[in-house]
Every structure is written in C-alpha cells, then in structure tokens.
Amino acid sequence: MTEAPLRWYHHLYVGLQYLLPHHLLARPVYGLTRVRWRPLKDLLIRVFARHFRVDLREALSPDPASYAHFNAFFTRELRPGARPIAGPESALISPADGVLSQVGDIGDGRIFQAKGRDYALLELLGGDGERAASFQGGRFATIYLSPRDYHRVHMPLAGRLREMVHVPGRLFSVNPVTTRLVPRLFARNERVLCLFEGPVGPMAVILVGAIFVGGIETVWHGEVTPRRDLLTAVRYDEPAVRLDKGAELGRFNMGSTVILLFPPGKVSWDAHRLPGSKVRMGDRLGALIG
C-alpha cells in the first residue's frame, strides 16, 4: 500500500504535539466525556457520530440519546452476533476493530513502526529483560483504532492473566501521520501491558494511550489510567483470571492502538493480512503453528 507524501502541515501538526501538556489536556476531556447533562451530552454524541460516520446499527442500543454520557456511547456494546469469532480453534483473531497498521517479525529486539522508524521491544515492555526475552525473535501485530471504531478490546486467543503493568509516558496521537514522524512512538506513550499464558505460551496484549485518551480499563481491574504514579506491576496468580478467545479484555475511553506480541515459532500470519488492511474484532489474523 503506497503511503501519501508527508506535507509541511503534517510536520507542523506533529511538532506542536511535542509542546502540548498531554496529560493536562486529557483531564478536561476526561471530565467532558462523562457529563450527564442531557443537552450537552446529546449534542456531543450527535456531532461526533455525524462527523465520523459512526454506524450505530451494530450497537446494542442504536439510540444515541440512550447513553448516559459521551464515554458510554464511545465504549458502546455491540449487539449479539455483530462480531462472529473466526474458527477453527487454532485461528488467531483480531482483538479489535481498526486498521492493521503493521504486522511481522520481531528482529534483533526491534519492532517495526513505520518506514524508517522502529523501537525496542525492551523499552515497549517497560525495560524488563525477563519480559522481553519471551518475545525475542517472535511476532507482532499493531492495530490502530480510529475514532469511529468499536473501542472494546478482546482476547486474540484464550489465556490466563499472569501480570498487568502500567507504564507511564506521553500521550502523542497514534494516527498514521504521527506514527510516521514520532520516533519510538509506542514505547514513549503511556500504556498498559497485559501479559498472558496461553496455547502459544506467553502472549502480550498492549493497550497504548493517545492524545486526549484519559482512560484505559480492563475487565479484571476496572480503570487503570488516568493515574500519575510510577510504573506499577500486578501479578495475578490466585485467584486466576482466565479469559476465552473473543472474550472482552478491556476498553479505551477514547481511541488508540493495540499491540500483540507472540513468542518465536508459535503463530503465523495469514498472507492477505497486510499493513493498511482493515480488520474487525473476531476476524482471523493468523493461526497457531503445530
């Protein structure tokens, strides 16, 4: 897929992001998206749905006025059957709706971000060598969720949760232009690492925050961000948290990116799943090997 050339205004747009107080800006947006005053919240939902051409026919509640606040609309539940889970059992599925921005191998401890850009697996995983060692030489996929997409994240494979880690960072935009221009973007932004053990051994589902994203939630913990403390790791041994393939894992309160990591020799990507292709939660991305 040929990328459009970058223009001067793209560089200006990204340059301004370096100057913005990312987390300070996220706080009023966080509050605004939870306003329950009907005239304001209905206006926000209508304007957003019209501008981004949101298809509410798939929603469990297709009536925009039925949502308590904008964030409830943004993280709306889909009607049963709207996202069938691809078979067979060995299929690896997309955890979210969006665009498969990159997919491939983790070579020399580096993950491809965009042309001329990559970042370190070790840095992405919070600087922990033991975590990174599990995925050296493995495979990754990066899925970008646009504002119009369904914003709940689901399990690509069944797994048992072993650890959750909150890694503080910036909140740059994660749209395609910013991804092409900001070095080490996904290793710089705030993120939540969800580390599982499953049929392939270790598996990571990483929820990356972005500009104006004031919250990331998981189904077992609730709201993880926003928070202002240092890196925090939580182990989950007993009671165990087990999630089936396709089960909801968490959600973005505003949009962002999901990164999947797998160990070497365990999964293969389907040949037609190329960077830039659209995916929906439940679509097959690849399969287990062996």
- Residues marked active site are found at 97, 154, 256
Distance CA 92, CA 171 (A): 29
Measured CA distances, 171 to 84, 102, 139, 195 (Å): 32, 20, 25, 22
Q: What are residue 92's DSSP bridge partners?
A: 286
Three-state SS sequence of 44-69: HHHHHHHHCCCCHHHECCCCHHHCCC
Distance CA 38, CA 44 (A): 10
Contacts of 257 (CB under 8 A, 6+ apart): 101, 142, 143, 144, 145, 174, 186, 208, 210
Sign of the CA dihedral with 57 first, then 62, 64, and 69 last: negative
Strand residue runs (E) in the chain: 91-93, 98-105, 110-114, 117-120, 139-144, 152-154, 159-167, 191-198, 201-208, 215-218, 222-225, 232-235, 242-243, 248-253, 257-262, 267-269, 277-279, 284-288
Distance CA 104, CA 128 (A): 22
Q: Which helix (H) or strand (E) holds 127?
A: none
Contacts of 110 (CB under 8 A, 6+ apart): 118, 119, 120, 121
